[in-house]
Amino acid sequence: MNKDVAPKRVMIIDDEPAARSNLRDAIDSFDELSIIDEIGDGKTAIQAITEQRPDIVFLDIEMPEINGFDVARATSHLNYQLVFVTAYDQYALDAFDTNAIDYLLKPVRPSLLEKCINKIIYQESLVLEDLKAQKTTSGSLVLSDGNECRVLEYQNINYIEGLGRYRRIHLTEAGTEIHRMPTILSDTTLDEFESQLPPQNFVRLHRSYIVAIQQIVGLSTESRRHFAKLKYSGLKIPVSRSKVSELKAIL
């Protein structure tokens, strides 16, 4: 394993304590994986996946009240690798109708678990290469934080806001529908964003803000401070004094 790459954050979901223990022992032997939680019921699992955003979920199918398929459907909008782990092979076809990357039978053999992990790592490598190739042929950014990656079209960016160690990308209505969330967090710096985004489409109005030019509908002054007004939301973005003339020329 590359020591510079953080381990994949793993969640184990199974209503049988013995089954969780067996899988935990198998997973602990892999440096590439780090178990962040073990859960014994479907309802808690849905909440935990939503809040903790694991990279990989090992999910039992037969659980009381809310089964594994219910959990998978309820969290299908989230980006994680799903591996079903069950004592029964009759669910295999249904499992692969979901977004599951693998289907393991209990007790899980270490050799099959290793193949599963290699499959996940290899698949992510191919996805990232493909996304980077798309970036060279279309108006888009490729965002990757080591755990997930996505293509973000320029036209779906409203503005980007600096928040300490992270940047929050605010999406347009169309972008929100595509990515199923109104904002995306990234550790890419604003300077890096500014160098990647086309200057004819985006402007750095402030040390903490980059804005899509097509979203700007006006410039206002309040208490000697300047603000750019965005369409639809009416949101006001602060404008540095050095950028006022540039914004007036754009408008």
Q: Tell me what pLDDT residue 5 has.
A: 61
| Same-domain check for residues 74 and 165 | no
Domain that holds residue 13: 8-125
What's the mean pLDDT when you consider all of the chain? 83
| Same-domain check for residues 98 and 146 | no
| Same-domain check for residues 42 and 112 | yes
Contact 219, 240 (CB under 8 A): no
Give the residue from 77, 100, 125 where a domain finishes. Answer: 125
Chain-centroid distance of CA 169 in Å reads: 12
| Same-domain check for residues 31 and 121 | yes
The sign of the dihedral angle between the CA atoms of 87, 93, 98, 104 is: positive
pLDDT in tens, 3-34: 556 788 999 999 999 999 999 998 888 888 89
Determine the Cα angle at 183 with ends 217 and 80, to 5°.
155
Cis peptide before 54 (omega within 30 of 0): no
| Same-domain check for residues 147 and 116 | no
Decide if pLDDT at 122 tops 70.
Answer: no
In a domain, 132, yes or no: no
Q: How many CB atoms lie within 10 A of CB 191?
A: 11
The rounded distance, in Å, linking the Cα atoms of 219 and 230 is 9
Name the band, by pLDDT with cuts 50, 70 and 90, for residue 127.
very low
Name the band, by pLDDT with cuts 50, 70 and 90, for residue 53.
very high
In a domain, 54, yes or no: yes
Give the residue from 93, 125, 157 where a domain finishes. Answer: 125
The rounded distance, in Å, linking the Cα atoms of 237 and 242 is 15
19 vs 126, more confident? 19
Question: At 48, which CATH number?
Answer: 3.40.50.2300
| Same-domain check for residues 226 and 120 | no
pLDDT in tens, 128-154: 444 444 444 447 777 765 555 677 888
pLDDT in tens, 208-240: 999 999 889 888 888 889 999 988 777 889 999
Tell me the percentage of the chain whose pLDDT exceeds 70. Answer: 85
Flag the least confident range among 35-49, 82-96, 156-170, 227-241: 82-96
In a domain, 158, yes or no: yes
Our count of domains for the chain comes to: 2
Question: At 194, which CATH number?
Answer: 2.40.50.1020
| Same-domain check for residues 92 and 176 | no
In a domain, 148, yes or no: yes
In a domain, 1, yes or no: no
Size of the chain, expressed as the number of residues it contains: 251
| Same-domain check for residues 15 and 80 | yes
Name the band, by pLDDT with cuts 50, 70 and 90, for residue 97.
low
The rounded distance, in Å, linking the Cα atoms of 147 and 45 is 20
| Same-domain check for residues 119 and 149 | no
Flag the least confident range among 85-89, 98-102, 152-156: 98-102
pTM of the model: 0.50
